[in-house]
Amino acid sequence: MTLSTVLLVEDNEDNRTIYTTILRHVGHDVIEASNGEDGIRLALERQPNVILMDVAMPGIDGWEATRRLKGDPQTARIPVIALTAHAMAEDRQRAVDAGCEGYLAKPIEPRRVVEEVARMLARIAAAE
């Protein structure tokens, strides 16, 4: 049984492999994108329950991809969790300003990714 569909937008292949493996292990369906452009397209096409968004990517970075997703009525409701190597208070605020509902600072233990996805899903369920 699939718990939810998670879109993982991450340009680092090792991170994609680690996070995808652990999320699938606990029962999530995972869609992978290696850049912001593909992340936006897949979010529109597949309507995932949660998006994990790396913010530092070439091309359209995660901040801009999140702003575009939040500005589109088709994807605005999907919670976005920022994945960033920047752990300063202003970076957390930047995530909020871009529209992210969650924030994880790298390096991220895989179990923290699972916990944050579960927290978002619980929040969605409570709101319904």
Model confidence over 1-52: pLDDT tens digits? Answer: 567 999 999 999 999 999 999 999 999 999 999 999 999 999 999 999 999 9
3-state secondary structure of 74: coil
Quote the pLDDT of residue 85: 84
Structure-derived torsion over alpha carbons of residues 42, 47, 52, 58, reported in degrees to the nearest 10? 20
Report the alpha-carbon distance of residue 52 to residue 69 in Å, rounded. 13
Per domain, the residue ranges of the chain are 5-127
On the question of pLDDT at 123 being above 70, the answer is yes
Q: Domain 5-127, what fold? A: Rossmann fold (3.40.50)
Q: Which residues pair with 30 in a beta bridge?
A: 6
Quote the pLDDT of residue 36: 97
Q: The whole model's pTM is what?
A: 0.95
Q: Between 89 and 112, whose confidence is greater?
A: 112
